[in-house]
């Protein structure tokens, strides 16, 4: 890994303080209530890729889960570890599409979260990333991700990714669609922004 900013993280370090206030203003239940029924019972192994301010990692830890929180932006990762100290959370400097450090550890997880992450990857990076995510998933296991649609903030790198493309990439790795919710409104009140929520599971047999 180099010290260069990971593709897709542009603009986050410069706005870290504001983003911490913004993200922490929303509760875990506010953001993930629609998919909470898919979270496995504790204790489970949870991987939070693009963990940001640690809000979700802290909530999973409070439920009794063991959490690996992956966040490539140091300004966010360091504040998150301070805001949400927990022996159940391990912070790793890593990110998609390679997640090289985590892949080298040969670990697997019951639940993988990709909240407001996938839209930062270009088409080739998305094709590279899905197999790596799938290989980290236990059987049975669940991947939950969100897709952002709408105007891109200045200084950010984002792509409008379709649900159909994402479902096809997951299916190619043997993952089955478990949930699809379209047109979820922006909880931050961003004009013209809405979200698609997807969940994938390993096959029942």
Query: Tokens 């379209």 appear where?
Result: 182
What confidence tens digit (pLDDT) does each residue in 18-71 have?
A: 766 777 878 999 999 999 999 999 999 999 999 999 999 999 999 999 999 999
**pTM exceeding 0.85:** yes
Instruction: Tell me the CB-side half-sphere exposure of residue 59, using CA atoms within 13 A.
Output: 17
Q: Set out the domains of the chain in order of their start, with CATH numbers.
A: 16-201 (3.40.50.150)
Find, among 35, 31, 109, the residue nearest to 70 by Cα.
Answer: 109
Distance between CA atoms of residues 144 and 201, nearest Å: 9
Residues across the chain:
205
What confidence tens digit (pLDDT) does each residue in 102-141 have?
A: 988 889 999 999 999 999 999 999 999 999 999 999 999 9
């Amino acid at each position: 890994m180099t010290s260069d900013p990971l593709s897709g993280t542009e603009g986050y370090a410069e706005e870290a303080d504001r983003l911490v206030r913004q993200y922490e203003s929303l509760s875990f239940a506010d953001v993930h209530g629609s998919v909470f029924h898919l979270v496995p019972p504790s204790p489970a192994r949870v991987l939070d890729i693009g963990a940001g301010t640690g809000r979700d990692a802290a909530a999973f830890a409070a439920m009794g889960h063991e959490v690996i929180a992956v966040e490539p932006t140091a300004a966010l990762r360091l504040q998150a570890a301070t805001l949400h100290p927990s022996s159940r959370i391990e912070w790793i400097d890593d990110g998609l599409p390679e997640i090289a450090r985590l892949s080298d550890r040969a670990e697997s997880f019951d639940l993988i979260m990709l909240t407001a992450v996938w839209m930062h990857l270009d088409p080739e990076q998305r094709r590279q990333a899905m197999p790596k995510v799938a290989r980290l998933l236990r059987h049975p296991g669940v991947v939950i991700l969100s897709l952002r649609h709408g105007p891109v903030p200045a200084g950010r790198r984002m792509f409008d990714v379709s649900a159909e493309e994402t479902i096809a990439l997951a299916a190619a790795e043997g993952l089955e669609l478990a949930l699809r919710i379209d047109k979820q409104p922006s909880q931050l009140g961003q004009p013209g922004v809405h979200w698609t929520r997807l969940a994938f599971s390993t096959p029942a047999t």
